[in-house]
Structure 1
Amino acid sequence: MLEIPGNVFPRRLDALLPMAKKAQGIYIEDENGKQYMDASGGAIVVNAGHGRKKIAKAIYDQILSHDYIHPTMFATKSVEMLAASLAKKAPREINRFYFFSGGSEANEAAIKLARQIHIENGNETKYRLIGRWKSYHGLTLGSLAAMGRTSFKKYFTPLLKENLHIPAPYCYRCSFGLTYPSCKVRCAMALDEMIENAGPQTISTFIAETIPGASIAACFPPDEYLQTIVRICDHHNVLLILDEVMCGMGRTGEWFACNHFDVVPDILTLGKGLAGGVMALSAFGVKETHFNTIKDNSGAFMHGGTFSHHPVAAAAGLALIEILEQEKLVFRVKIKGEKLGDLLKKHLLPLAQVGDVRGKGFMWGIEIVKDKKTKQPFKRSLKIVEGLWDALFEKGYITYKSSGLAGVDGDALVISPPYIIGDDEMEMLVKAIKSTFIEFFN
């Protein structure tokens, strides 16, 4: 056996992790031969399944043809074709795409782009950003400042630009103590109040996850929420950035999650599943009108990146889209996602510690509570979700952890398997989750 020297600065410092040996389909195998069902696609990334030969061949062919090409010196066919493929799927008017390596980069660049668009249009006083509490947009300084997940920010607050935040559309724990639909989406109207109070002439952009993912566990907003947000942004000339790094590329049963609501943002960000997890690839898409504003004025977006518009990563993304199309996997998510949701609700909602099961497609959240009637969460110090996750992992099932849903407390699991998971495997997964909850809390 190869001796591991131990020079990596690992993501986890609290545990020795098993060594992965092989990944195929929806399973990962460690060096001891143990199999794990990847029921979260890693960090909600793997959508077409592990070990796709079509993507491997596309990468191989692209490397042998031309690998690193600087995007200020040459155009490359794989990048051009990926942008064209995304434009065909994207909401109307979103037809220009700029490529990066990760979702944090895409969101950071989108925030900068919004500011430059305002400047080119003669609105230099528009510089402030509004985000939402309980949001996640990445860990670079700009995206970290935009997010509303305070646990990630506490060490670095002195380094961050102060931004404004409003409550998330989190009906299970409504910040206003209201109930949908009689609330008339009060959480959306909070944006109008914030803009008016801060001064519309100062607000550049509002950034929001179309479907809040990691922070409040697949919390699908009310149908009219985003339509209300769009009207408010349009009224105040505030650009809307929708973050679909996690929920895009078919995860909710639509190529883009905003299609569920028939809304079009000014800028839309993608990542994670854009190349199926095989290569580091992200992007923002922007309306043609905004692209032309930049092109016709300064003539350049004041941004860049050594590995932006990378032809090898683009080749992987293009192959991934072809797989999703040819195997009709996005439509499969729409249909099979209903079955997954029904199974989760049937088996888990009766449990005393499951407060809510929510989601759509292959993106589902299971909120864990101490008291179901009062929705009282467990104290974060108990690390309930970590304990459940470890118990499931030991059984060979990988899920995704969410915490801090109720202030600093609260726990949830996110279930987001690859789109190829079978009916029998979904039933195995849900039964394993149920039995683990029963064993853990008894």
Structure 2
Amino acid sequence: MTGIKSSVLHRDTRFIPTKAVGGKGSYIFLEDGTKFLDSTGGAAVSCLGHGNEQVLDIIRQQMDQLSYCHSAFFGTQVSEDLAQLLVDSTGGKLSKLFVVSSGSEAVEAALKLARQYFLELPTPQPERYRFIGRLPSYHGTTLGALSAGGHVQRREPFEPLLSKNTSHVSPCYAYRGKLDGESDADYVNRLAAELDAEFQRVGPETVCAFIAEPVVGAALGCVPAVPGYFPAMKAVCEKYGALFILDEIMSGMGRCGTLHAWEQEDVVPDIQTIGKGLGGGYAPVSGLLIGDSVVQTMDKGTGVFRHGQTYQGHPISCAAAFAVQKTIQEQSLLENVRTMGAYLESELRKKFEDHPHVGDIRGKGLFWGLEFVKDKATKEPFDPKDRLSFLIQEKGLEPKHSVSLYGSSGTVDGIRGDHLVLAPPYIVSKEEIDILVNTLSNVLEEIFATF
């Protein structure tokens, strides 16, 4: 929408988006009367859809009781309830919860906690200040989180401001990274050797942690690791005494079919970041789940995490997260994620596996990505000047389609390559998946007809 004045600094200063005026279930209602299928949950956020009455009631009750208090002075019962629920969900493998407001803040806190852990050891290791991440991962937009990530396009304008204490290794990206005839085990061994070599290159005694997404979200389009990858990566970290951080902000909290994505990977992180599906968009909330060895080290040291924020442990955010997680439990929605996820996968493969420009279909649960290629045999991507993923996303927003298609670029090398992400709510029905897949088919038909 253009030509209308706004005092908001929108994502594009030359474009004012259509206003959303309501929402219910899997749909958002727009000011022009459009009923819009929110098939990406925004950015994999709205896991319960919109207008969930149980969640809204619990938030209202908390607002009636207390909307805010500073965590330096007071605690709240709702933060204790949320923490206990989430600690219990890990079987006690992770023993504390730290609540903040956004995914970027959670990653910042994870990096600082990892650094402080080594200062709190009985024999401190102040020489540990480095991190190893992966290309082309995305961990957030604040400077520390952007430094930890390897997303070329998001980093590029701010490179002079970014920390130089993070280096990056290859992702586990079988579609493009696995060699012809290479087994999963051999691929894992090669990636583990690369990580080991990076520890050696930078000095293993300088590394605080390795950080990775169990299923790569925005940067690669729902790429899961091959079996055995994460245990191998953790083994390298343990070899050199570094921490193992899993960023589950996008892929966790049920999105991939289990509450924690690491449950499927036969590995437990030392620190886990959570967000998006934690509060389902009903309030800004994210957090850290922290392994007991880290907690005990802190407790036996100063006992003080030297990091805090004004809205840390915000009561309304905690209430929203608690309500969302209780709803997921009580309505057995993880089972629906698995069932509808399997149906979504089958329909995507049925519709697009033979599409000349769909190179790969990948994902888990209700977290699926399609990668687009100019040539299916060579996997050659489209020219970045074509802006393919942007065009697909914009086409989906047109009233005749009215569907969200989360498009991103830079899939291949940070600059070239296009993919889209689908992340419908955990309450999605077969009928809504049918609408999504058929609408996506229509969108792609229109887009590729112009190429």
Task: Tell me the TM-score normalised to structure 1 length.
Answer: 0.97
Q: Report the equivalent of 2:100.
A: 100
Q: For residues 382 and 143 of structure 2, what CA distance do their matches in structure 1 show?
A: 30
Counterpart residue number, 2:411: 405
Q: 2: distance between equivalents of 1:40 and 1:199? A: 41
Partners of 2:180 and 2:294 lie apart in 1 by 38
Paired residue for 2:130? 128
Between 13-22 and 364-373, report the one with greater CA deviation. Answer: 13-22
In structure 2, relative to structure 1, the CA distance for the partners of 1:182 and 1:268 (3 Å cut) is closer
Residue aligned with 1:184, SS: helix
User: Is the CA contact 1:92–1:264 (under 8 Å) kept in the aligned structure 2?
Assistant: no
Q: Deviation per CA, 1:377-414, whole angstroms, max 9, x where unpaired?
A: 01111101111111122111112112101121110110
Match of 1:417 in 2: 424
Q: Distance in 2 between matches of 1:436 and 1:306?
A: 44
State how 1:38-49 maps to structure 2 within 5 Å.
38-49=38-49
- The answer to whether the 8 Å contact 1:167/1:175 transfers is no
1:429 and 1:119 mapped to 2: Cα distance?
50
How far off its partner does 1:13 sit? Answer: 3.0
Structure 2 counterpart of 1:313, one-letter code: S
| CA displacement at 1:145 relative to structure 2 | 0.5
Secondary structure in 2 matching 1:135:
coil
Matched, 1:436 2:443: yes
* Cα distance in structure 2, aligned partners of 1:357 and 1:45: 21
Secondary structure at the residue paired with 1:251? coil
Pairs within 5 Å for 1:3-402: 6-90=6-90, 92-121=92-121, 122-162=124-164, 163-174=166-177, 179-181=182-184, 183-185=186-188, 186-394=190-398, 395-402=401-408
**Does the CA-based 8 Å contact 1:91-1:264 persist in structure 2?**
no
Distance 1:428 1:307, change over 3 A: same
1:13 to 1:48, Cα distance in 2 relative to 1, 3 A: same
Structure 1 residues 263 and 52, CA, compared in 2 at 3 Å: closer, same or farther?
same
Instruction: Quote how far apart the aligned CAs of 1:177 are.
Output: 7.2
Larger deviation: 61-70 or 216-225? 61-70
Contact (CA 8 Å) 2:390, 2:408: kept in 1 or not? no
Matched residues in 2 for 1:178 and 1:110: separation?
38
Cα displacement (A) at 1:439: 2.2
CA deviations over 1:109-147 (Å, ceiling 9, x no partner): 100100100111111111111000110000111001000
Runs of 4+ with deviation above 6 angstroms: 175-178
Shift of 1:173: 1.1
1:94, distance to aligned residue in structure 2 (A): 0.5
* Structure 2 Cα separation of the partners of residues 195 and 205 of structure 1: 10
- Cα deviation digits, residues 143-173 of structure 1 (max 9, x gap): 0100000111111111111111001011111
Q: Which string of whole-angstrom CA distances, capped at 9 and with x for unpartnered residues, describes residues 259-283 of structure 1?
A: 0112101000001111111100000
- Displacement after TM superposition at 1:326 (Å): 1.1
Distance 1:178 1:116, change over 3 A: farther
AA partner of residue 295 (structure 1): D
CA shift in 2, pair 1:296/1:178, >3 Å: farther
8 Å Cα contact 2:392/2:405 also seen in 1: no
**Aligned-residue offset at 1:181:** 2.1
Deviation at 1:5, TM superposition (A): 5.3
> How much does 1:316 deviate?
0.7
Question: C-alpha separation between the residues in 1 aligned to 2:417 and 2:92?
Answer: 38
Structure 2 residue runs without a partner (length 5+):
none
Structure 2 SS opposite 1:154: helix
When residues 339 and 170 of structure 1 are mapped into structure 2, their CA distance, relative to the original with a 3 A threshold, is: same
Please, which moves more after superposition, 219-228 or 154-163? Answer: 154-163
Q: CA deviation at 1:14?
A: 4.5
1:320-340, Cα deviation, whole Å (9 max, x unpaired): 011101111012101211110
Matches of 1:189 and 1:53, distance apart in 2: 50
In structure 2, give the amino acid aligned to 1:322: K
Asked if the contact 1:171/1:179 (under 8 Å) is kept, the reply is no
Aligned-CA RMSD value: 1.5
Residues 347-383 of structure 1 show CA distances to partners (whole Å, capped at 9, x for unaligned) of: 0111101000001100000001100000000111110
Amino acid at match of 2:433: M
Query: What amino acid sits opposite 2:447 in the alignment?
Result: F
In structure 1, runs of 5+ residues without a counterpart are none
**Structure 1 pair 307–95 and aligned structure 2 pair: CA distance change class (3 A):** same
Native 8 Å contact 2:221 2:420 kept in 1: yes
Report the CA distance between 1:188 and its aligned residue.
3.1
Residues 190, 177 of structure 1: alpha-carbon distance in 2 compared, 3 angstrom cutoff: farther
Whole-Å separation in 2 of the counterparts to 1:91 and 1:178: 39
Count of aligned pairs: 440
Output one character per residue of 1:9-54: Cα deviation in whole Å (capped at 9) or x when no partner.
0123353311111111000111111111000000110001101111
Encode CA deviations 1:239-289: one digit per residue, 9 max, x unaligned: 011000001110000000010112101000001111111100000011122
Whole-Å Cα distance in 1 between the matches of residues 376 and 182 of structure 2? 17
CA contact (8 A) 1:255 1:330 kept: yes
SS for the counterpart of 1:156 is helix
- Preserved contact between residue 184 and residue 227 of structure 2 (Cα < 8 Å): no
- 1:254 partner SS: coil
Question: Partners of 2:12 and 2:279 in 1: how far apart?
Answer: 25
8 Å CA contact retained: 2:130, 2:207: yes
Which has the larger displacement, 180-189 or 233-242? 180-189
On the 8 A contact 1:91/1:259 being kept in 2, the answer is no
User: For residues 14 and 185 of structure 2, what CA distance do their matches in structure 1 show?
Assistant: 46
* C-alpha distance in 2 between matches for 1:196 and 1:328: 46
Distance in 2 between residues matched to 1:440 and 1:301, nearest whole Å: 51
Conservation of the 8 A alpha-carbon contact between 1:103 and 1:272: yes
Within 1, Cα distance between the matches of 2:154 and 2:212?
17
In 2, Cα distance between the equivalents of 1:187 and 1:100?
33
